[in-house]
Amino acid sequence: MLKWQVVAQLLVIPILTMAASGIKLESGDGKCLLDAGTVPPADLARYDHYRIYNVQFDNQEQIELFQKLEEQSDSLTFIGHAREIGQKLSILVAAHRVADFADLLKTYKLKYRVLTYNFQEKIDRNMREVLPESIDATKYDWQHFFHLKTIYGWMDAMAKQHPNLLTVLDMGNSTQGHTIKGLKLSSNPENKAIFIESGIHAREWIAPATATYIINELLTSQDAGVQGLAKNYNWIIFPCVNPDGYKYTFEHDRMWRKNRQLFGTCRGVDLNRNYPDHWNSTGSSSDPTRYDFAGPSAGSEQETQCLLQFIRSNVQKEQIKTYIALHSYSQMLMFPYGYTKERVSNYDDLQEFGKKAAAAIKAESGRDYVSGSLYETIYPSSGGSMDWAHAEAGIPIAYTFELRGPPDSQDLFILPAVEIQPTASEAFTAIRTIVEAAAEKGYYN
């Protein structure tokens, strides 16, 4: 047998074996080389047997250890950063790192709890709560989660049902060409306006769900107080200001956070670190592989530029006096600043309004929300939309809401659908309380 025949035979045997096993071979350009008649699995990130640990730092050595660990490992997803003694921090640990991580906790005597032993189970449950993309807009509700296309379809349908009140807004296109769509509810062009953005972090599905709930309440509620809010203020609401990322969480990776801009071998900018207000000065990263990558420059991203331009063009014309950014999780009502302990000029008012809103939530549902400046309440961060809206655009009432669950949530960002309605109701109660309290102090005069 000739030498080339031997080589050919050695190549053919494994190929035939793989074909018999139902394996498809692909070339570098993704084209199938050998089709055994099988359907390839979807390109889905999986988190089988990933664990969520909630650890507590009792000394500086432990803090420094975990700061190094976050920098060195891409198998650990930190929900925040190790900063101070007494802090509790949740960390999602890949299955193949569980043994090493457990040994580290034992060696350095860290206190901890395991919140979840198999994170994929939560994702699987969550995906079963998503209705099909093609569902009719009349079937839209707040007991399920919905694809971007479905949300936009519902918004269009609502605008057709309420042509005298609603206007569909187009903020512009995302990095991958998706429309950033919003709704304006207005019964009087002279009203002061309240601006709400949500979905800037793709995996926080409860935020767009809450935004659409608020739109629906303003249109359909029989409560006289809510009807007054709809009549006396104009509402500009964009449920998903990161449409590319949101779409990606449904189709590929439920835990994706950033946009989908390409940087060589990785993708994504944390859009809530990309705004031109003390950009990349604290609580963000210059590394494109990190979840809090601030981008190559301030305001670099298409989605950021769309929102900047919209606010700059409309803050005076629409008389925008309130800016609300919806996020999850941790149950917090936060106001500027995120980058410094320095207090805004109306700190006392914002603190008062936030505490009133937290008390209103407590009275409604029994849930505990904390209020304070972002820097004091959650962790230092820069380049956020709220800080920019307050400091640069001059919007006096500015808040970032971290919705359910609690800081030690077992679900992280995978909130069950049964929580949508009560969570959204809490958020709307908080917004209503803040607006009413601010009105009493003349902010909308």
HEC string for the chain:
CCHHHHHHHHHHHHHHHHHHCCCCEECCCCCEEECCCCCCCCCCCCCCCCEEEEEECCCHHHHHHHHHHHHHCCCEEEECCCCCCCCEEEEEECHHHHHHHHHHHHHCCCEEEEEECCHHHHHHHHHCCECCCCCCHHHCCCCCECCHHHHHHHHHHHHHHCCCCEEEEEEEECCCCCEEEEEEECCCCCCEEEEEEECCCCCCCHHHHHHHHHHHHHHHCCCHHHHHHHHHEEEEEECCCCHHHHHHHHHCCCCCCCCCCEECCEECCCHHHCCCCCCCCCCCECCCCCCCECCCCCCCCHHHHHHHHHHHHHCCCCCEEEEEEEEECCCEEEECCCCCCCCCCCHHHHHHHHHHHHHHHHHHHCCCCEEEEHHHHCCCCCCCHHHHHHHCCCCCEEEEEEECCCCCCCCCCCCCHHHHHHHHHHHHHHHHHHHHHHHHCCCCC
Q: Give the C-alpha separation, 111 to 32, whole Å.
A: 50
Query: Is pLDDT above 70 for 43?
Result: yes
Report yes or no: 52 and 114 within 8 Å, Cβ to Cβ. yes
Give the CATH fold of the 135-441 domain.
Aminopeptidase (3.40.630)
Q: Give the C-alpha separation, 269 to 289, whole Å.
A: 9
Which amino acid type is present at position 247?
A: K
Sign for the pseudo-dihedral over CA of 294, 299, 305, 309: positive
Of 199, 212, 197, 399, nearest to 311 by C-alpha is 197
Give the CATH fold of the 51-117 domain.
Alpha-Beta Plaits (3.30.70)
- This prediction's pTM: 0.90
Tokens representing 320 are: 């925008």
First vs last C-alpha separation in the chain: 94
Report yes or no: 198 and 324 within 8 Å, Cβ to Cβ. no
Q: In the predicted model, what is the mean pLDDT of the chain?
A: 92
Does 337 sit behind a cis peptide bond, omega within 30 degrees of 0 on the bond before it? yes
**Domain limits of the chain?**
51-117, 135-441
Q: Which residues of 160-195 are buried (b: 16+ CB within 10 A; e: fewer)?
A: eebeebbeebebeebbeebbbbbbbbbeeeebbbbb
What is the model's pLDDT at position 378? 87
Query: Is pLDDT above 90 for 164?
Result: yes
Q: Give the C-alpha separation, 196 to 322, whole Å.
A: 8
Query: Is pLDDT above 80 for 86?
Result: yes
Q: Give the C-alpha separation, 16 to 24, whole Å.
A: 11
Q: Which segment of 70-79, 87-96, 145-154, 368-377 scores lowest on mean pLDDT?
A: 70-79
- Percent of the chain predicted with pLDDT > 90: 87
Task: Give the residue with greater pLDDT, 29 vs 327.
Answer: 327
Q: Give the C-alpha separation, 291 to 287, whole Å.
A: 9
Q: Give the C-alpha separation, 325 to 418, whole Å.
A: 22
Known catalytic residues are: 402
User: Same CATH fold, 135-441 and 51-117?
Assistant: no
Residues 189-233 pLDDT 10s: 999 999 999 999 999 999 999 999 999 999 999 999 999 999 999
Q: Give the C-alpha separation, 107 to 210, whole Å.
A: 43
Task: Give the residue with greater pLDDT, 402 vs 16.
Answer: 402
Residues 320-352 pLDDT 10s: 999 999 999 999 999 999 999 999 999 999 999
- The structure tokens 């904390």 sit at 370
Query: Is pLDDT above 90 for 8?
Result: no
Maximum alpha-carbon separation in the chain: 95
Report yes or no: 87 and 57 within 8 Å, Cβ to Cβ. yes
- The structure tokens 């009349």 sit at 138
- Percent of the chain predicted with pLDDT > 70: 91
- Distances from the Cα of 207 to the Cαs of 139, 336, 362, 411, 422, in angstroms? 20, 20, 20, 15, 13
